[in-house]
């Protein structure tokens, strides 16, 4: 285990060194005077010393001063780009319809929506009763809640079943601990009920007087479920569930039928669900199937049956059903069998229809089945590369399926699909101002062979007329963890890259689930290096096929994608010109060895338990922070969030410090820490654009793009 040792920080006078860097002189940063006691040697039998452990002590004013000095250094180095950054900000802002509203969602007799207003950072939540022509009722104006605050995030927004009360919870620090309030929507007044430090999981019972919520432990793990009755002292709320296993998170949900409240327990490989009649909120929850190691399942409800998606003896998942009267596993019956080429990913139940989401050949698909006839059909989509996701579908009796469609060139488009007539209606496509024309751009999907023969999908977009001559700047993004696939979504901000000649490429590397569950399993634990090798092989393939060249290649990734960036710049630094790492998870060994940190224990199923020598040795062989060495690195732009509970600010800060001490090049290395935000960066939509403008200006400046 890591020992803290004494704190002897050395503050780096970065602002004073900015001109040295601008003049091409190498900036050397010495490590702290006192080194930290070696750690992990008893596990990996390898001595490891952490010279920058002192940066973990955020209560030490010198640590805050260090982060602020890094920020000042970044601003000094980038000062000559201020005008360009402002132009980029206004360019991206100019594509956004600042005063806009979402497509209203009908629930009972109300139409719910949110809207934004020009010049205001946050959304305004509203509804209309009876018709869209009715007077607007503002339920919650987040701009008012955010007044006087640098950060504000709405984590809970749940209207009671009778539409008379609103439960909402906000976080004003970015640390993902939320304060809950209840608003009477008839009077506009807040109820006395107030609960602090809850998580984002909350469900109303059908009596409109009882709600269930979760709280987190000291490691930010949602682990307890409480029952609260309106008008009672929250300190006396009844604990209805306590998850004691540090590897499991706790969450709440409600079936769309409104019949059952669900408690979901989950690690990275195992699930367990408990259910309660939503009409009997004082009752006791019952288990559907007790946790079974490495068996995942999820639950929905229809009629007298529960429907269960599970990977039990089904790598890519299968669909089962079980009687509500006794949903034990022995009573499960197969509805959709397992298929090697198809991965089931989601389920949406309606009174007359069942909607199944799945992934085949790397693309999402939607299948609709009518209960009365048993007829099944697939919804067709027009483009070769796209993203499809279920929209807000609260009406159990509806024949309309709302879904959201987009691609690398098609903006966010909300459709209502009639499951009976098979007709679709475009309700709204997000408007991109500034004369955007999708026909000016071209999408492409290719496969690049990895070194072991695996075919890695790559989604790309660029301006039409692009000639493959190897001279185009290319922005390559990767993630590759937790089975999450970074689908080809649309972003108007990327037009600032594309219109300057960039190719945008998404590498769907192993560790995600683009090609099924096996694609994920082949990129985790003792196979994790496949993620990095895939990314490197994609980069080399794009260069070989003359999409770009090493001196024009920009790579980017955030969080676990930041680990990817950190690993590949250690492995093949000469392959990349610029690397962007947003809130990067780079201090793998220290974090996975500290069980007091958020997410650590549950993460062992993703990366490995460092207390096991085989895993420890393997993780240590690629951990970005531990493998920084004396060599030339690409230009690096790194971000952090001081209040980030997912990737602690000290990971990117320590990584930056170690890179400064060891790298042998004159390339830029900048760290930008948001001192008032967490994992997601700035909460306001305008502030967020300024962060992107800074990143783009960094890239353009190095590549010599001046406007």
Beta strands in 133-281 (DSSP E): 137-141, 153-159, 165-171, 178-184, 190-204, 210-216, 222-229, 238-242, 249-254, 260-266, 271-277
Tell me which residue has tokens 């402002």: 86
Indicate the angle between helix axes 613-622 and 529-544, nearest 10 degrees: 30
Number of other CB atoms surrounding residue 48 within 10 Å: 17
Pairing label, strands 190-204, 210-216: antiparallel
449 DSSP β-pair partners: 455
Residue in 644, 648, 667, 683 annotated catalytic: 644
Residue of 654, 664, 671 whose CA lies nearest to 28? 664
Residue of 131, 127, 124 whose CA lies nearest to 100? 124
Angle at 354 between CA 350 and CA 359, to 5 degrees: 130
* Tokens at 686, concatenated: 């305008």
* 644 is known as an active-site residue: yes
Name the region of 502 (left: φ>0; alpha: ψ -120 to 50; beta: rest): beta
Q: How far apart are CA 688 and CA 93, in angstroms?
A: 11
Q: Which stretches of 459-595 are DSSP H helices?
A: 495-498, 517-521, 529-544, 560-571, 588-592
Q: Is 623 helix (H, G, I), strand (E, B) or coil?
A: coil
Q: How far apart are CA 306 and CA 146, in angstroms?
A: 41
Largest CA distance in the chain: 76
Q: How far apart are CA 646 and CA 200, in angstroms?
A: 15
Q: How far apart are CA 195 and CA 94, in angstroms?
A: 40
Q: Is 469 helix (H, G, I), strand (E, B) or coil?
A: coil
* Tokens at 690, concatenated: 């300024």
* 556 is known as an active-site residue: no
Tell me which residue has tokens 């069998």: 337
* Tokens at 314, concatenated: 């089904």
Alpha-carbon Rg for the chain in angstroms: 26
Q: Which helix (H) or strand (E) is 671 found in, with range?
A: strand 669-674
* 8 is known as an active-site residue: no
Three-state secondary structure along 344-375? Answer: EEEEEECCCEEEEEEEECCEEEEEEEECCCCC
Residue 460 burial class via C-beta count within 10 angstroms: exposed 0-12, middle 13-18, buried 19 and up:
buried
Contacts of residue 554, Cβ cutoff 8 Å, sequence gap at least 6: 473, 474, 475, 476, 576, 577, 578, 579, 580, 699, 703
Residue in 559, 593, 648, 683 annotated catalytic: 559
Residue in 302, 496, 679, 701 annotated catalytic: 679
Give the burial string for 572-597 (b: 16+ CB within 10 Å, else e).
Answer: bbebbbbbbbbbbbbbbbbbbbbeeb
Q: How far apart are CA 128 and CA 138, in angstroms?
A: 9
Determine the straight-line distance between the first and last CA of the chain, rounded to whole angstroms.
Answer: 50
Q: How far apart are CA 498 and CA 197, in angstroms?
A: 43
Q: Is 475 helix (H, G, I), strand (E, B) or coil?
A: strand
- What amino acid positions are annotated as catalytic residues? 559, 644, 679
């Amino acid at each position: 285990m890591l020992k803290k040792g004494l704190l002897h920080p050395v503050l780096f006078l970065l602002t004073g060194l900015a001109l040295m860097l601008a003049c091409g002189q190498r900036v050397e940063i010495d490590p702290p005077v006192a080194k930290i006691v070696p750690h992990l040697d008893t596990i990996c039998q390898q001595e490891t010393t952490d010279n920058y452990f002192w940066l973990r002590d955020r209560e030490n004013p010198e640590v805050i001063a260090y982060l602020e000095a890094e920020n000042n250094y970044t601003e000094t180095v980038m000062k000559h780009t201020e005008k360009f950054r402002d132009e980029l900000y206004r360019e991206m802002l100019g594509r956004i319809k600042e005063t806009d509203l979402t497509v209203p969602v009908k629930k009972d007799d109300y139409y719910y929506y949110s809207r934004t207003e020009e010049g205001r950072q946050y959304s305004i939540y509203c509804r209309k009763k009876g018709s869209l022509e009715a007077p607007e009722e503002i339920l919650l104006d987040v701009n008012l809640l955010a007044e006087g605050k640098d950060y504000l995030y709405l984590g809970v927004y749940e209207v009671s079943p009778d539409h008379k009360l609103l439960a909402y919870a906000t976080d004003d620090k970015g640390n993902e601990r939320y304060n809950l309030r209840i608003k009477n929507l008839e009077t506009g007044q807040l109820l006395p009920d107030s609960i602090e430090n809850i998580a984002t999981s909350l469900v109303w019972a059908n009596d409109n007087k009882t709600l269930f919520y979760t709280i987190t432990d000291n490691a930010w793990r949602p682990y307890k479920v409480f029952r609260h009755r309106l008008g009672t002292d929250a300190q006396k709320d009844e604990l209805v569930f306590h998850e004691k296993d540090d590897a499991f998170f706790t969450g709440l949900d409600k079936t769309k039928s409104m019949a059952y409240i669900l408690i979901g327990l989950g690690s990275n490989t195992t699930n367990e669900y408990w259910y309660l009649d939503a009409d009997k909120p004082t009752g006791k929850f019952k288990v559907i199937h007790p946790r079974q190691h490495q068996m995942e399942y999820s639950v929905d409800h229809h009629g007298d049956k529960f429907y269960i998606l599970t990977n039990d003896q089904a790598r890519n998942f299968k669909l089962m059903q079980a009687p509500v009267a006794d949903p034990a596993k022995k009573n499960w019956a197969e509805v959709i069998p397992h298929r090697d080429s198809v991965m089931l990913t989601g389920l949406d139940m309606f009174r007359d229809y069942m909607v199944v989401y799945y992934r085949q050949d790397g693309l999402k698909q939607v299948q609709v089945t009518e209960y009365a006839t048993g007829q099944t059909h697939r919804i067709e989509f027009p483009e070769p590369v796209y993203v499809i996701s279920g929209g807000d579908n609260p009406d159990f009796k509806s024949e309309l399926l709302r879904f959201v469609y987009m691609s690398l060139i098609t903006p966010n488009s909300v459709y209502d699909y009639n499951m009976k007539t098979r007709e679709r209606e475009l309700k709204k496509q997000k408007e991109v101002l500034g004369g955007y024309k999708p026909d000016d751009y071209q999408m492409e999907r290719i496969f690049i062979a990895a070194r072991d023969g695996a075919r890695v999908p790559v989604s790309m977009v660029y301006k039409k007329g692009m000639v493959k001559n190897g001279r185009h700047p290319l922005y390559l993004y990767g993630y590759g963890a937790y089975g999450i696939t970074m689908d080809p979504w649309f972003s108007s901000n990327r037009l600032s890259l594309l219109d300057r000649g960039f190719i945008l490429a998404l590498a769907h590397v192993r560790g995600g689930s683009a090609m099924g569950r096996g694609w994920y399993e082949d990129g985790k634990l003792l196979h994790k290096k496949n993620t990095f090798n895939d990314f490197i092989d994609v980069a080399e393939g794009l260069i070989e096929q003359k999409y770009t060249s090493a001196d024009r290649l920009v790579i980017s990734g955030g969080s676990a994608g930041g680990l990817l960036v950190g690993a590949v710049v250690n492995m093949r630094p000469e392959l990349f010109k610029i690397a962007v790492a947003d809130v990067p998870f780079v201090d793998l060994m220290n974090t996975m060895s500290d069980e007091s940190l958020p997410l650590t224990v549950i993460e062992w199923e993703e990366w490995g338990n460092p207390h096991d020598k085989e895993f420890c040795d393997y993780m240590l062989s690629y951990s970005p922070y531990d493998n920084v060495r004396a060599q030339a690195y690409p230009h690096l732009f790194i971000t952090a969030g001081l209040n980030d509970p997912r990737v602690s600010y000290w990971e990117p800060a320590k990584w930056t410090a170690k890179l400064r001490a060891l790298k042998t090049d004159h390339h830029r290395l900048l760290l930008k820490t948001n001192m008032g935000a967490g994992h997601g960066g700035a909460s306001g939509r305008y502030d967020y654009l300024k962060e992107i403008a800074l990143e783009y200006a960094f890239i353009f400046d190095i590549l010599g793009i001046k406007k």
